[in-house]
Chain A
Amino acid sequence: MPIVGYVSLAVRVIPCLDVHAGRVVKGVNFVDLRDAGDPVEMARVYDAEGADELTFLDITASSDARETTREVVSRTAEQVFIPLTVGGGVRTPADVNTLLRAGADKVGINTGAIDRPEVIAEISSRFGCQVLVLSVDARRSSSQPSGFEVTTHGGRRSADMDAVEWVRRAAALGIGEVLLNSMDADGTKDGFDLELISAARAATGVPIIASGGAGEAKHFAQAVDAGADAVLAASVFHFGELTVGDVKQALRDAGHTVR
């Protein structure tokens, strides 16, 4: 059920661009990367289509290529006047500062926070919690109380942590949002993992961005009904299967407020 008290705030539709060496890529289940274009050009297209926000995920390993990504962030911020979140390889407050200075509004952190949770409080006390998006790659697991575990390395390794408990703990340390990515649903196009979203919603009062599994426009409204404040997708947008406008229309048809 939509939360009636919040109809004034629009559900955000967020295209995600996986950036490697200055180019946008999106893998099927994060393997077999396919090139889908120039990130700055794609950011402009998404902005024109009505995207509420953009996320760049820097999947580059080397520091040289990270410099390239910073340039991409700067060039995007010069031309696109909607919020930009950048994640990938963030481990310290200095990393956050570098990205904010380059033109990011928010920074995503994933493995860096798993390895050293205190960094969450270090970042939020310096820059405010609103700059920090905790990215969680969650997978179903019978070994954790919630039924979901945290994974790393694109889902290939278990972090041996309960995903819902991790969200709760990180929220207490000072994050502004959770980017909740289902590794089970990612790449399937069968829809978001609604149980994962509901479990996280029950555990935290910070905004939840649902990610992983979007294939049809109707899937996005299901994620919001399950408790998501924002919805994120990559390949359905990159390969032209859906436009941001299609998703917003489906959300509107389902009774949700959009911009």
Chain B
Amino acid sequence: MKADVAVLDYGSGNLRSVVRAVERGGASVVLTADFETAARADGLVVPGVGAYAECMRGLRAVQGDRIVGRRLAGARPVLGICVGMQAMFGQGIEHGMVSEGCAEWPGTVERLEADVIPHMGWNTVEAPTGSQMFAGIDDERFYFAHSYGVRAWELRAEPPFPSPQVTWTTYGPDRFVSAVENGPLWATQFHPEKSGDAGAALLRNWLGQL
């Protein structure tokens, strides 16, 4: 039985590649903004590109924050990608303006500091021991295209709850969160759907959880 995955359709960008990459991983995929479809699917992918404030506006317009909240309350898997990951944090700051995120995790999305911005291209990641997301994926690079990131991981889980697994990437003088595994909520700052075979392996690891 194939897992059924909903890709949340709430704005612009290349959603076709997300849909195709998840299909290639062996799932049955629907691109939708329908609340019930997105809330009930075995897995939900929240993509996102562009400005934080604009993305949050689009996400709220389809009640994406509520869909995510309802799913997580029932331990139903969600995968955020790029700004779809950033949206899970508390807030984003762009040009001095603060926008509220979904606040599933505390933390702030800020502009990266490096001589060359955006951070564009294939970079390495430092995944923690025991990561399920990166299981079987060693010494691979992933494709990034972003100017903002999260520099500090602030959520501390107390036993018996397992600690979130946080993956980091270094770019120039900056270091930021490049992936998170926190119970049913997973997210990547990079684009697994654009990261060739390494990205495909990561998506299969996620689908394996559904």
Contacts and interface: CB of A to CB of B under 8 A. Distances in A.
13 contacts: A6-B172, A9-B122, A11-B121, A78-B16, A81-B194, A125-B51, A126-B54, A127-B13, A130-B146, A131-B49, A177-B118, A230-B121, A259-B141
Interface residues of B, number: 42
B49 A97 contact: no
Contacts of A11: 121
A229 interface: yes
Interface string B17-29: 1001100100000
Given A104-B14, A105-B145, A105-B194, A127 B171 contact: no
Nearest 7 CB-CB pairings of A with B: A128-B50, A103-B16, A10-B122, A130-B145, A5-B172, A259-B122, A207-B120
B206 interface: no
A129 B120 contact: no
A158 to B, nearest CB: 29
Contacts of B17: 77, 81, 103, 105
Interface of B: 12-17, 20-21, 24, 49-51, 54, 83, 114-124, 141, 143, 145-147, 169-173, 191, 193-196, 199-200
Contact of A103 (B14, B119, B147): B14
A78 B22 CA distance: 11
Contacts, number: 120
Interface string A4-28: 0110111110000000000000000
B12 A8 contact: no
Contacts of A100: 12-14
Interface of B is mostly: mixed
Contacts of A127: 12-13, 49-50
A220 to B, nearest CB: 15
Contacts of B20: 77-78, 81
A16 B164 CA distance: 41
A117 interface: no
Interface of A: 3, 5-6, 8-12, 47, 52, 74, 77-78, 81-83, 97, 100-106, 125-131, 176-177, 205-207, 229-230, 259
A102 B16 CA distance: 7
A13 to B, nearest CB: 10
B196 A131 contact: no
Contacts of A8: 123-124, 169-171
Contacts of A206: 116-118
A81 B196 contact: yes
Given A205-B115, A206-B117, A77 B14 contact: yes
B193 A81 contact: yes
Contacts of A229: 116, 120-121
Contacts of B124: 8
B118 A176 contact: yes
B209 to A, nearest CB: 21
A6 B114 CA distance: 9
Given A105-B17, A128-B49, A81 B116 contact: no
B21 to A, nearest CB: 6
Given A5-B173, A77-B16, A78-B20, A130 B122 contact: no
A206 B119 CA distance: 9
Nearest to B48: A128
Contacts of B50: 126-128, 130-131
A257 to B, nearest CB: 9
B121 A128 contact: no
